[in-house]
Structure 1
């Protein structure tokens, strides 16, 4: 009992010395650790982290038991291992840092402050409707399609592999592009700023080949590969079954209907109005209604 009381007393003493800045420091550290674990989850880096933790645990155990040879070897291994990690896992680290760099703009979709206009939102609404209708028609005729919607990550490398078009999307144009045996039908269409910027583009291969269903075709694999290397949303139509799928963040979701596809794309691409703007409209709207009611009364 005295032992427990002693622990409680020590904890109380430690807590009493924690300042506001210490609390901020702890919260920030916890946040970054959580984000780091979330970023490396389900990647090769997860197995790497597990291996490093095991090596560190063995090192401390060997040091505690005074196993000099083991401690010496593990100590040198950990020193050299940091450099080896940076070299071997450079692609994973690059993607993680790219994802961190996109975090601060993720909540605003594809729009920056300079292009958050009613015209751009209207253009995106029209483009998404076209993509949904085209995907539905291509699905009915079991015509394969691969449509990449660019967001924050610029896809210049992929655009350079295709034919630049820079035109307003339409159901007819997408149907023509993906019509079998046409020159551009095997590649991907890339949409930027609500316009078809290029067609017939080649996409990167997936990094996680061993985790991909062997039954998936080349379009689905290309879509997954593109989603692993960017924050783009990729719409895929299977030429065998007509199934509409979406690839995003390295994952493939299948079985979309036209309405569900349009709803999802709008939720991910078109930003909501800022809260301050919403409050402003909510304040002005009742006044306007009240004013109209007064005018009707005067009439």
Structure 2
């Protein structure tokens, strides 16, 4: 008499857990895009194939198995942008923390501080917000985005609020692109960023989509000043927070860049703003 009990090893449980984590990360990555429906459809067909194989429904199992085999090639073609985005994100230290709160402690092992003078950036954003002057500022972390820097005009200058405001002045030839700040210097301006396909609010313009698009595939920080409303938006990890105050901007920059209180002095920023 055949045993009716299924023998489950510890490795089987680990296998199931790892597959569940992988599917969850893929779902979080594709959520909000048109590809999510295709992804769920492929998962459903795969589960149905395994069920028919377990029930020994040979004909249907063979048909679904052939479809899955051919579907791998179709999967790579259809999801080429998403797979590229996933692999790029996989190389960032914050990947585990980004796609699973329960794994955030692992990303802390790789966290570093990035020496960046954020005060001129915050002051410039406050000034540009008051006069509704559009801007898109990117602060790099581990990934220095050299491929993005090469699309703009190299500046390599010390960070200062007058320079930032002058670059994004409406009559400036570089005001439409993004400014890249790396290693505490303004590396380039007028840079071209990838645009996100994620569903965003209607009031989000091209600058907001570019900020989300870049932070989806890198560990950079993107700051957007809206030309229509003057609102300041803050974007990391493909997530954007709209309408934040300069003091909140200062705190988030200090936290995400690993700066101490002396490097990111909010009070000094507020004093500079009051002088205007």
1:37 to 24, 30, 35: 24
Q: What SS is found at the alignment partner of 1:76? A: helix
2:83 to 76, 90, 93: 93
Is 2:207 the partner of 1:219? yes
Is 2:134 the partner of 1:144? yes
Q: What SS is found at the alignment partner of 2:118? A: helix
Distance 2:63 2:221 in 1: 47
Residues 36, 102 of structure 1: alpha-carbon distance in 2 compared, 3 angstrom cutoff: farther
- Equivalence for 2:153: 163
CA apart distance, 1:100 = 2.1
The root-mean-square deviation of aligned C-alpha atoms, in Å, is: 3.0
2:169 to 153, 157, 179: 179
8 Å contact kept, 2:92–2:218: no
Residues 64, 164 of structure 1: alpha-carbon distance in 2 compared, 3 angstrom cutoff: closer
Residues 174, 34 of structure 1: alpha-carbon distance in 2 compared, 3 angstrom cutoff: same
Distance 2:247 2:68 in 1: 53
CA apart distance, 1:157 = 1.9
Q: Aligned residue pairs: how many?
A: 243
Structure 2 gaps, min length 5: 96-106, 261-276
CA apart distance, 1:234 = 0.4
Is 2:187 the partner of 1:197? yes
CA apart distance, 1:94 = 2.1
TM-score when normalising by structure 2: 0.76
**What do residues 99-143 of structure 1 show as CA deviations (whole Å, max 9, x unaligned)?**
2221379535565xxxxxxxx74xx2xx21111111011101111
Higher-Rg member (1/2): 1
Structure 1 gaps, min length 5: 1-6, 112-119, 273-299
CA apart distance, 1:48 = 4.0
